[in-house]
Amino acid sequence: METARDRKIREAREFFSRINTRNSLFIGISGSVSYEPREDDDIDIFLIAKTNRLWTSILEILLFRRIYRFNDLCLSLCMDDAYAVPYFTNLKDGLAVRDSTKVIPISGEPYFNTLIRRSSLILKRLNEKEQKAAENRSMKNPLFSPVELLSFVFVATWINIRAIVVSKFNPKRGEGMFNTIFSLHSCYFDTEKYKVLNERYLKSEAYTE
């Protein structure tokens, strides 16, 4: 019998197999689906795009999400390569470290494996004895284009307005509240639920040390 987790993973993979994600370096499933989800949980997507191609990538996925009526899909953590490299190199958030080892890859797994090895804390979490030097990647990044800028203005505005409305009227008080944090190179949801979970995680880690 197919579990809720297996079904959500299958549906996400089927969705991304239908669309062209040429500007993405990595697409993975994070959040509750990477653990043990409830039936009504969203499928949280972790997207890493090529540098200067984040917002056109987000726009493309959101359009296909609407076309295929895949309402369970949530772009909860998005960044481009220019943001991802320093983010993982300096990653110190305990819960983010743990969650990074649980992400379920859909595409770009070799890139993601190279990326997370920039974090000594993730390597420790993966029980690796010695920190491996990050592989040198020669990647020619596309220039920031007018289309990317327009996508940023349009999509970021739409996401922010929608987040304000959803957060305000969400019946799950406390854990339902969230803010959108975005720039030209990143976009993610800063939720009250995540803050609570991270505080609990850090306390449990301190207790076991």
Identify the domain containing residue 119 by its residue range: 4-132+139-208
Whether the Cβ atoms of residue 112 and residue 26 lie closer than 8 Å to each other: yes
pTM (two decimals): 0.74
Task: Give the CATH number of the domain where residue 100 resides.
Answer: 3.30.460.10
**What's the domain count of the chain?**
1
Question: d(Cα 3, Cα 36) in Å, to the nearest integer?
Answer: 9
As averages over each run of 10 residues, the pLDDT of the chain (209 residues) reads 90 93 93 88 95 95 94 93 92 82 93 88 64 50 84 85 70 56 82 68 56
